[in-house]
């Protein structure tokens, strides 16, 4: 049913795969991210940034004078997956995770990484949207992209999932984003190998970009 719905839904010019998708770009470093001497103000992107398809081969430069969140305040971002509906779901709310498993057909897939439940210095919101017609949870840090998906792609804004870093200057690591046209599903992971291998098979999650930066483990 979801495959048929996806075919019907694809007739609408939604452009679900972001125009900033960067599969196939060359380069191992992100030229837009540079060290800073004093970054007490966090830049809020007006458009989704673009990134190379592969993670940097060397650790990114960290701004030691930046105002950053306390890593000890980070909480786990849980991941669940509904295979029949082909939908990944992410939440910091353990009760919401348990409800999705007990009543909505999702299976626990562990912890994606660590983020912040409340806004902290240097962080921005990770918005959560949902499209019940194609059964897709979508997450973005871009207010512009959020508005576009609500107004043009039939998504409804649900909540702020958590707060994350918009760049790597506070020492966060990438949260990679992919999309499956077949399954109409957005997929997020901090594992570079999982991201690189997700495009194999029939469901084929294609690389889109680095969505945000997160704490890889709790302090």
Mean pLDDT in order along the chain per 10 residues (219 residues): 46 38 35 36 37 38 75 96 96 98 97 96 97 97 96 95 96 95 94 82 82 84
Q: Please give the Cα distance from 5 to 29 (Å, whole number).
A: 38
Q: What confidence score (pLDDT) does residue 19 get?
A: 35
Q: Would strands 156-164 and 87-91 be described as parallel, antiparallel, or unpaired?
A: unpaired
User: How far, CA to CA in Å, does 201 sit from each of 11, 51, 71?
Assistant: 24, 24, 37
- In angstroms, the CA 35 to CA 66 distance is 10
Note the pLDDT tens digit of each residue in 34-64.
333 333 333 333 333 333 333 333 344 556 6
DSSP category for residue 219: -
203 Cβ contact partners less than 8 Å away, ≥ 6 residues apart: 86, 180, 182, 183, 185
**Contacting residues for 99 by C-beta, under 8 A, at least 6 apart:** none
Backbone angles phi, psi at 93, to 5 degrees: -90, 110
Listed in sequence order, the residues at least 6 apart from 59 whose beta carbon sits closer than 8 Å to its beta carbon are none
pLDDT confidence of residue 120: 95
* Pick from 69, 22, 95, 75: nearest CA to 170: 69
Partnered with residue 178 across adjacent β-strands are: 187, 207
Q: What DSSP element (H or E) covers 94? A: helix 94-103
Given this model, what pLDDT does residue 219 score? 58
E strand spans, 65-145:
75-82, 87-91, 107-115, 124-131, 136-140
Model pTM score? 0.71
Q: pLDDT value at position 102? A: 98
pLDDT score recorded for residue 62: 58
Domain regions of the chain by residue span: 2-27+37-75+111-214
């Amino acid at each position: 049913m979801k495959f048929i719905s996806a075919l019907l839904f694809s007739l609408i010019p939604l452009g679900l795969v972001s125009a900033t998708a960067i599969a196939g770009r060359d380069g191992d470093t992100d030229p837009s991210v540079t060290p800073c001497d004093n970054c007490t103000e966090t830049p809020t992107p007006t458009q989704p940034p673009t990134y190379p398809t592969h993670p940097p081969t060397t650790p990114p430069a960290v701004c030691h004078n930046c105002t950053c969140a306390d890593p000890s305040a980070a909480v786990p971002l849980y991941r669940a997956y509904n295979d029949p509906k082909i939908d990944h779901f992410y939440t910091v709310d353990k009760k919401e995770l348990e409800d999705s498993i007990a009543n909505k057909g999702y299976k626990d897939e562990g912890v994606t990484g660590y983020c912040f439940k409340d806004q902290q210095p240097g962080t921005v919101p990770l918005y959560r949207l949902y499209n019940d017609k194609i059964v897709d949870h979508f997450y973005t840090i871009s207010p512009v992209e959020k508005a576009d998906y609500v107004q043009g792609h039939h998504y409804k804004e649900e909540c702020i999932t958590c707060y994350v870093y918009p760049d790597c200057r506070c020492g966060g690591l990438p949260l990679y984003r992919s999309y499956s046209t077949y399954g109409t599903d957005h997929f997020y992971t901090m594992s570079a190998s999982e991201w690189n291998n997700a495009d194999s098979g029939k469901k084929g999650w294609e690389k889109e970009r680095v969505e945000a930066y997160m704490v890889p483990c709790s302090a």
